[in-house]
Structure 1
Amino acid sequence: MEELYTLEKEVGRGSYGVVFEGHMAKSGQRVAIKRLPCSNPECIELYLQELWAMRATAKNHVNVIALHSCLLQTGPQSLKPLKPGKLPVSLVESVLKGSVVSAPQSQERNNAQANARRTTTSVSSLQDRTNTVQARGKLQDKTELSEPDSTTPQRPQNRARKRPAQREEDQPRTLRCLALWLVMEYCDGGDLNQYLLSRPPDAQHNHSVVRQLCSAVAFLHSLGITHRDLKPDNVLVCVTPKGPVIKVADFGLSKMSEGLVDGDLTRQHFSSTCGSDFYMAPEVWGGLTYTAQADIFSLGVMFWAVLERITFVEEGTTQEQLGAYVCKGRSGWLMPLGEALWENADLQLCIPMKFKRAPPLPPPPGPAMCSLLLDMLASNPDARPSAAQLEARVCSALREDSH
């Protein structure tokens, strides 16, 4: 590792891995280095999906996180670069078999105790599955924001979650491939929550964020990539003198589609219920098959929250997050938009929001943008614009509202 990269410090830790800040040994360029321990087939499948998607995007779009290289760890101090277009055979075999590939017996005995708490989970294939996939934890550095005041709506306790915890088995096994290391561009502005909520509202920056996200998702969909977990946590920010540069990241739940009919990604159907509660589309909440149009709904939730600075506090946390929702009942408990629209497809959303929010606030979106948001948040996926249509419509709506 030292010959190629220098690890400086840990900047983020989640349920699936650790991210370090580092530098390229030759150029000194700052990079983010994500270590993904290959402890069970389900995790390995997510890692391979992320690697495939990031290789497909390469460095071809300014608003999609760039992958510099991937390293394969086979021992405590054994790392080697993975050649472009190649995948570790042992990892693919682990996913296909639904159980991890073992190391030689001597190595297994030496490492058994250290790996006693690793888990294995069976999966049948690399294809999309009907079982639930646990959404990935945050891996980027989470700079703590100020604690929300009493006016900030909070997600109620004891809400049922859609994704079960991973199962443990009694006999964990050691892997030939201990971990994958992904070397990516470094984003110094944190995620979208951190960047926007740590600064006063800025309408120009908000409009720039919306435009850049449209461009990124249009690019991904043009390559046949459906992200399936678009949310502010998975959008990173690079701070530049000209303003924030947005980077869509975290492709562990993404799906790549081949053989599209006339290049139409909306005809490719998925069945795995995955994503994050406040950004999931109604059809995903309902357990129906869905298409890339679910990404458009997630974008709609994010755009509404960014443009009006709508926040909530997730249960078990004290950190504000950007996200739109519906208030239900006299107590005003929060329900994700997708869940509310699944229960009532005729629900009328009030855009811009009518109830009072704490200052400082940006100006509300204009009529053209409000109309577009309603289309993006339609309960019927076919009524939402495609990613290609959305990019043009966003620019047109913002231009129309500016007059």
Structure 2
Amino acid sequence: MEELYTLEKEVGRGSYGVVFEGHMAKTGQRVAIKRLPCSNPECIELYLQELWAMRATAKNHVNVIALHSCLLQTGPRTLKPLKPGKLPVRLVESVLKGSVVRDPQVQERNDAQSNSQRRTNSASRLKDRSNTAQARAKHRNETKSNASDSTTPQRPQNRARKRSAQREEEQQGPLRCLALWLVMEYCDGGDLNQYLLSRPPDAQRNHSVVLQLCRAVAFLHGLGITHRDLKPDNVLVCITPKGPVVKVADFGLSKMSEGLADGVLTRQHFSSTCGSDFYMAPEVWGGLTYTSQADIFSLGVMFWAVVERITFLEEGTTQEQLGAYVCKGRSGWLMPLGEALSENADLQLCIPMKFKRAPPLPPPPGPAMCTLLLDMLASNPDARPQADQLEARVRSALKEDSH
């Protein structure tokens, strides 16, 4: 690793991997390096999805995080750069077979050791069989004679205990693919939560963020990529003299469409429930099939939260998060919008939220922006605007409200 990159410090940790701040050894350029341990097929599948999506976007859009390179870790200190367009064969096999595929040489050696051990054990058992036959017969007689005196059923001794998990792990040997390392551009402004909530509200800045997110999602959908986990945590910020540049990141749950049909991008349907509670669309909450329009709902929640500075505290934490919600009951229990709409498709959302905004309060959105937000948060996915329409709709709404 030191020959290519220098790791400085850990800057983030999630369910699947760790992100470090680092530098390129030759140029000194600051980068973000994400380590994804390849410990099971389920995680490996997510990693390959993320790699595939990031390669598809390459460095072609300023509002999508750029992937510089991908490295495959094959030993404690061994890294191998992956060629563009190539996927690690063993990792693909692991996903298809449902178990981690190991180094054939290691597996062959372990199999040979296992076969040798089995032959030794068999010979030993044959040798001992004649010597222990009388002892076993005597043991059975003693057991029968004591059975009438026993009031508690006795479990027979397990003469062939299962091999311990620890010994199995030792015999399996080291993994061929220990981890994937993704080297990406570094964003010095943190995520969207950290950036916006650490500053006083600024309408112009908020509108810039919303427009940039429109462009990012339109670009992704144009490539047939559905993100499926759009939220402020997955939007990173680069601070520039001209203002913040936001970048959509974390493509672990993303899916790519199957391609073009008669020159038009296919509208792929998905069924797996995934995403983050406060941003998931009602059709996802309801366990229905859904399309890329679920991303538009997630964007609607984010836009509403950014424009009105609506926040909530995630359960078990004290960190404020940008996000909209519905209050249930007198206790003020917060219900995600998608969940509320999946239970009641005719639910009327109150935009602007007024008293539920976090101080200091920005000016509430105008009527045209409120109408757009309601369209993006429609319970019917087909009633939501398409990604390629969003930027024009936002610009039109802002212009109309400014008058």
1:193 corresponds to: 193
Equivalent residue number for residue 229 of structure 1: 229
Alignment partners' CA distance in 1, 2:285 and 2:266? 18
Contact 2:192–2:236 at 8 Å: present in 1 too?
yes
> How far apart, in 1, do the equivalents of 2:200 and 2:257 lie?
40
Counterpart of 2:80 in structure 1 is 80
CA deviation string 1:95-140 (max 9, x = no partner) = 000000123448998xxxxxxxxxxxxxxxxxxxxxxxxxxxxxxx
2:395 is matched with 395
Q: Secondary structure at the match of 2:20?
A: strand
Provide the C-alpha distance between the structure 1 equivalents of 2:13 and 2:108, rounded to a whole number of angstroms: 27
In structure 2, the partner of 1:135 is none
Superposed CA deviations along residues 265-317 of structure 1, whole A, max 9, x for unmatched, are 57210111100000000000000000000000000000000000000011111
Question: In the alignment, which residue of structure 1 is the partner of 2:49?
Answer: 49
Counterpart CA distance in 2 for 1:2 and 1:263 is: 46
Aligned counterpart, 2:9: 9
- Mapped to 1, the partners of 2:390 and 2:307 lie a distance apart of 16
Per-residue CA distance 1:242-278 (angstroms, 9 max, x = gap): 1110000000000011234456557210111100000
Where relative contact order (Cα < 8 A, 6+ residues apart) is larger, the structure is 1
Could you say what secondary structure the match of 1:355 adopts? helix
Amino acid at match of 1:86: K
Aligned residue number for residue 202 of structure 1: 202
- Residue range with higher mean Cα deviation, 55-64 or 254-263: 254-263
Structure-1 separation of matches of 2:76 and 2:183? 18
1:284 aligns with 284
The equivalent of 2:91 in structure 1 is 91
Cα separation, 1, equivalents of 2:181 and 2:107: 25
- Asked if the contact 1:260–1:268 (Cα under 8 Å) also holds between the matched residues in 2, the reply is no
Q: Within 2, Cα distance between the matches of 1:185 and 1:278?
A: 28
Shift of 1:13: 1.5
Partners of 2:356 and 2:4 in 1: how far apart? 53
For 2:245 and 2:364, locate their aligned partners in 1 and report how far apart those are by CA, in whole Å.
23
Question: Given that residues 33 and 184 in structure 2 are in contact (C-alpha distance below 8 angstroms), is that contact kept between their aligned partners in structure 1?
Answer: yes
What displacement does 1:2 show? 1.6
Q: Distance in 2 between matches of 1:177 and 1:334?
A: 43
Higher helix share: 2
1:283-302 aligned at under 5 Å gives the runs 283-302=283-302
TM-score, normalised relative to structure 1: 0.82
What amino acid maps onto 1:353 in structure 2?
Answer: M
Return the offset for 1:402: 1.7
Superposed CA deviations along residues 60-116 of structure 1, whole A, max 9, x for unmatched, are 00000000000011001110110001111000000000000123448998xxxxxxx
The answer (yes or no) to whether the contact 1:300–1:373 under 8 Å persists in 2 is yes
Distance 1:5 1:34 in 2: 12
Deviations 1:205-231 (A, max 9, x none): 100000000000000000000000000
Shift of the 266–399 alpha-carbon distance from structure 1 to 2, 3 Å rule, reads: farther
- Partner of residue 66, structure 2: 66
1:279–1:338 CA contact under 8 A, matched in 2 = yes
Partners in 1 of 2:205 and 2:286 — Cα distance? 35
Name the aligned partner's letter for residue 292 of structure 2: A
- 1:347 corresponds to: 347
Query: The residue matched to 1:74 in structure 2 has which SS?
Result: strand
CA drift of 1:4 comes to 1.4
Letter in 1 for 2:13: R
For 1:66, the aligned partner's letter is: A
Q: Computing the radius of gyration over CA atoms, which structure comes out larger, 1 or 2? A: 2
1:12 to partner: Cα distance: 1.3
Looking at structure 2, the residues matched to 264 and 318 of structure 1 have their Cα atoms a distance apart, in angstroms, of 46
CA 1:369 to 1:194, structure 2 compared with 1: closer, same or farther past 3 Å?
same
1: CA distance between counterparts of 2:202 and 2:194?
Answer: 14
Instruction: Report if the CA contact (8 A) 1:222-1:263 is conserved.
Output: no
**Structure 1 residues 356, 96: CA separation in 2 closer, same or farther (over 3 Å shift)?**
closer
Q: What secondary structure is seen at the aligned counterpart in 1 of 2:10?
A: strand
SS in 2 for 1:65: coil
1:269-348 equivalences under 5 Å are 269-348=269-348
SS in 1 for 2:315: coil
**2-structure distance, mates of 1:316, 1:67:** 33
1:359 Cα shift?
2.3
Structure 2 vs 1, CA of residues 395 and 99 (structure 1 numbering), >3 Å: closer, same or farther?
Answer: same
SS of corresponding position for 1:69: strand
CA contact (8 A) 1:265 1:292 kept: no
Q: Is the 8 A contact 2:372 2:397 kept in 1?
A: yes
Change (3 A) 1:329 1:176: same
Mark the CA change 1:356 to 1:55 in structure 2 (over 3 Å): closer, same or farther.
closer
TM-score by length of 2: 0.82
Using the alignment, how far apart are the partners of 2:396 and 2:109 within structure 1? Answer: 61
Partner SS for 2:183: strand
Identity %: 90
The one-letter code sitting in structure 2 at the alignment partner of 1:180 is L
Aligned to 2:378, what secondary structure does the other structure show? coil
When residues 218 and 262 of structure 1 are mapped into structure 2, their CA distance, relative to the original with a 3 A threshold, is farther
- Taking the aligned partners of 1:391 and 1:262, their CA distance within structure 2 comes to 26
Separation in 2, partners of 1:309, 1:320: 11
Q: How many residues align?
A: 344
Whole-angstrom CA distance in 1 between matches of 2:93 and 2:368? 51
CA distance in 2, matches of 1:401, 1:64: 29
Match of 2:101 in 1: 101
